[in-house]
Amino acid sequence: MNYWLVKSEPDVYSWEDLVKDKKTTWDGVRNFQARNNLKAMKKGDLAFFYYSNEGKAIVAMVEISKEAFPDPKDANWVAVEIKPKTLLKNPVSLATIKADKKLATMALVTNSRLSVQPVKPEEFDYILALSEK
């Protein structure tokens, strides 16, 4: 089981949209590092759903429901399918993550532009605990 983090701008595609759609194709990733991460995803893996620009916080958890397949819009790239898992009790903001020494090594902090990134199991658990507060 691996853990991930995917970014979305809430005006473009929000958690509410995902809940409404039941599942969605996570495509449009045009970055090699992010593509490699998509390819490494396994069915059943969990990922945080992060709002960039507006919100700047981890708001929910999603599940990978289909492993990497060619991006329907461009076969040189790949997409996965995700479905909603749970909405966090409280969002965990970027400011909180940056301020926490345990999370300072997350790609979200060190490589803020990467749109699909791995999360360590201990980071995943720790953030979940933070969201319960």
Partner DNA sequence: GCCAACGTTGGC
Q: Is 37 in the site for DNA (CB under 7 A)?
A: no
Q: Which residue has the tokens 């898992």?
A: 85
Vertex 74 angle, CA 71 and 76, to 5°: 85
Question: Binding string to DNA for residues 69 to 108, with x set by CB under 7 A, is what?
Answer: -------------------------xx--x---------x
Contacting DNA (CB under 7 A), which of 2, 52, 65, 96?
52
Got the DSSP string for 88-107? EEEEEEHHHHHH-GGGTTSH
Instruction: Using the rule CB under 7 A, give the single segment among 19-27, 66-74, 80-88, 113-121 that binds DNA.
Output: 113-121
Please, which residue, 89 or 98, has the CB nearer to DNA? Answer: 98
CA distance 51 to 90: 13
Point out which span in 27-35, 36-44, 63-71, 99-107 binds DNA (CB under 7 A): 27-35
H helices, E strands: number in the chain: 5, 6
Positive or negative CA dihedral for 103, 105, 107, 109?
A: positive
Residues that bind DNA (CB under 7 A): 7, 9, 30-33, 52-53, 56, 94-95, 98, 108, 111-115
